């Protein structure tokens, strides 16, 4: 079954005057269900192509304390299931139960809809410091393989550490560039992400291309997540 494309009405849900207004909770719920369908399609494609399993989770669609009573975007994330996280959860124990049980607080794939358009990404939040260390381990022990994977991503993916270094185009990345980014990156303090922005107007002009374009992005990111998991701290 073909996925419902993202429309101008979806993007306009995040105009400034609507983000705090609960009267838009209904249309945002419709978008939440659309995102769920996109996540399930991405999960199935990744399972078929890469043999990897993921859980699908969507973000809040209504103003609430966890989003600062403002819905400025909505996303679907793909996070590893419990069996892929059990070693870290066991080693970190009760003190980090929240971080190891939450999907959004761990390394995950994401498709985010905002007023500007759609972003596809592999994201590691500061709370997932063990996945941040995996980035550093992979960059230190297997830089050639990691750079090769990054350079194989579709055009306009950027590696960003939010640690004071400018984002780098993955297609142009060299090992020395990766080393420079890692020097400024501090797991536990900074985000690190692979991000590609799809502006709304381009998506609206090519609505029939949205499905292959966005699912291609997520499918391309999955092997990088699997590679990083090989370096994730296990004690």
Domains of the chain: 8-229 (3.30.930.20)
Angle at 7 between CA 156 and CA 196, to 5 degrees: 15
Instruction: Grade residue 101 by pLDDT with cuts at 50, 70 and 90.
Output: low
pLDDT tens digit sequence for 212-233? 999 999 999 999 999 999 998 6
**Prediction pTM value:** 0.92
d(CA 208, CA 104): 30
Q: Per-residue confidence at 106, pLDDT binned at 50, 70, 90?
A: confident
What letters, b where the CB count within 10 A reaches 16 and e where it falls short, cover 4-13?
bbbeeebbeb
Residue 1, pLDDT score: 55
| Tens-place pLDDT, residues 22-64 | 999 999 999 999 999 999 999 999 999 999 999 999 998 888 8
> Half-sphere exposure of 133 toward its Cβ, with a 13 Å CA cutoff?
11
């Amino acid at each position: 079954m073909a996925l419902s494309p993202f429309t101008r009405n979806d993007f306009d849900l995040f105009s400034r005057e609507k983000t705090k207004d609960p009267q838009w909770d209904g249309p945002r719920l419709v978008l939440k269900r659309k995102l769920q369908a996109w996540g399930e399609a991405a999960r199935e494609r990744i399972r078929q192509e890469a043999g990897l399993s993921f859980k699908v989770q969507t973000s809040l669609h209504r103003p609430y304390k966890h989003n600062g009573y403002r819905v400025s975007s909505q996303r679907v994330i793909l996070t590893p299931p419990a069996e892929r996280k059990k070693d870290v959860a066991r080693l970190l124990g009760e003190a980090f139960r929240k971080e190891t049980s939450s999907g959004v607080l761990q390394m995950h794939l994401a498709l985010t809809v905002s007023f500007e358009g759609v972003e596809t990404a592999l994201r590691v939040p500061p709370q997932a410091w063990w996945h941040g260390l995996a980035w550093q381990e992979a960059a230190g022990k297997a830089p050639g393989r990691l750079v090769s994977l990054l350079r194989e991503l579709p055009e306009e993916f950027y590696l960003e550490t939010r640690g004071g270094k400018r984002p780098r185009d993955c297609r142009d990345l060299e090992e020395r560039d990766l080393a420079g980014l890692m020097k400024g990156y501090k797991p536990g303090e900074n985000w690190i992400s692979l991000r590609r922005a799809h502006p709304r107007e381009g998506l609206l002009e090519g609505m029939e291309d949205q499905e292959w374009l966005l699912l291609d992005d997520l499918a391309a990111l999955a092997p990088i997540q699997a590679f990083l998991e090989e370096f994730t701290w296990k004690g």
